[in-house]
Amino acid sequence: MKRKRFSVPRIRDPRYPHIQVRVVALAGSPFLFLGRQKDCKPTYAVICVNGRKFTPASLGDTKKEREDRARALGLDAIKKIAEQEMAPKPEPTDDRLTLSQLIETYERDGFAGRTDAYRRDSLAALRRLAAFLEEDAALCALKPSDMEKYYAKRAAAKHAPAGRGDLVALKIACRWAWRNGLLDQSPFATAQFDKIIPPKGTQRRPVAKKDRYDAIKAVATQLPPAFEVLLDLAWETGKSHGGIRTLRWEHVALTPAKQAPHGSVTWYADRAKETVDTKKRRIHTRPLNANASAALQRWRKMTKGIGGAFVFPSPSDPNKPLDYATTKKWMRKAENLAKVPHFKQGVWHPYRRGWAVARKHEFSPAELAAANDWRDPSMVVLYQAADEESTLEAATFVA
């Protein structure tokens, strides 16, 4: 029997009878969406409050608690919609909207349902463009050559991907302005503008294999002691570097158990305060292998770590985890000492891919996805990119 999706329909506020919304879970996403009819078409946006997204389970333990909380979220959304409708609208500027006006209006009204990080990065991109261009110049006065000069400047500073991202951010903002009646036409609606945005470059996915791990491990004693433990956990667990850095001792169980003979770790336990469930970070407990357990036992003995203390605390503030910039410097130094080439677009993440590649002949993608709590086995396949050795082996294999 097909399970019915969570839905609280027909949410209304008597003060704003013309607005009706629903809170619903949609297929393909764990999060709740706010649904509303607009221009005779249903529109949906992820419900996001102060950067937090919600799942049905996060609203309460009982059906009534979940429905009441969902209705409250819907009423809050109705109030915000009504306030936006009653707020003084900027006068339509036709084709004279300036970049500074676009940024001001977009910052105020253009990020409903977006995360704080998306808002921050989009505005930063627009402000970089505004610093290069004339803020008071009308968007209709922009020329393709202006975009080409900006991208060339970013590329010369070795920031070509960021330059492309800035142009995309401007394109999205201009489309938003057009949809809201602030522009007669987005500049990027013309072929001359749109073709200026270069195609997205091939994403590199370097893989750290056993020989690289062994070479880095051999020089690890020449770096701070925490580095070797971080390296071992990255190689042995396949977890993200951020998840490893932010571990607390209270989430590490090194006592053997039937289902975890070498102990276990509850990953992302701290994220419960921010969000219960996300695409990349879900609270889950997984057993450790013997090598990872031994590394943590040595580290606990060395640091006397207990309770809520970070496994890898910041040297300047033990109430904060070790920061990424420091561990990145350690890895670059280790690469120099080991005389191994640095991976472009890869510092710690190649070891996560290495975890998947080292096990591809022993376990199926589904088994590896379950072991690392990855929702989609295709993620494992993406990590297990073909190399020369495996390609030759497959091509010459005789069944």
Q: Are 38 and 22 in contact (CB under 8 A)?
A: no
Beta bridge partners of 35: 22, 44
Global confidence as pTM: 0.56
Q: Provide the residue type at 396 as one letter.
A: T
Q: How far apart are CA 99 and CA 132, in angstroms?
A: 11
Q: How far apart are CA 213 and CA 343, in angstroms?
A: 13
Q: What contacts 124, CB < 8 A, 6 or more positions away?
A: none
Q: Is 341 exposed, middle or buried (0-12, 13-18, 19+ CB in 10 A)?
A: exposed
Q: Provide the residue type at 153 as one letter.
A: K
CA atoms within 13 A on the CB side of 241: 18
pLDDT along the chain (399 residues), means of 10: 78 91 87 83 85 88 92 92 76 67 90 84 92 80 88 87 89 90 85 77 78 93 94 91 91 90 87 49 85 93 89 90 92 94 86 86 81 74 65 61
- What are the helix (H) ranges across 24-62? none
**Radius of gyration for the chain, computed over Cα atoms and rounded to the nearest angstrom:** 26
Query: Which pLDDT value is given to residue 387?
Result: 60
Beta bridge partners of 332: none
Long-range contacts of 163-167 (CB under 8 A, 24+ apart): 164/197, 164/198, 164/200, 164/201, 165/125, 166/125, 166/126, 166/128, 166/129, 167/196, 167/197
Are β-strands 32-38 and 20-25 bridged in parallel, bridged antiparallel, or unpaired? antiparallel
Q: How far apart are CA 266 and CA 352, in angstroms?
A: 18
Domains annotated on the chain, with CATH:
7-86 (no CATH), 99-194 (1.10.150), 210-396 (1.10.443.10)
Query: Which pLDDT value is given to residue 391?
Result: 60
Query: Which pLDDT value is given to residue 293?
Result: 93
Query: Which pLDDT value is given to residue 198?
Result: 79
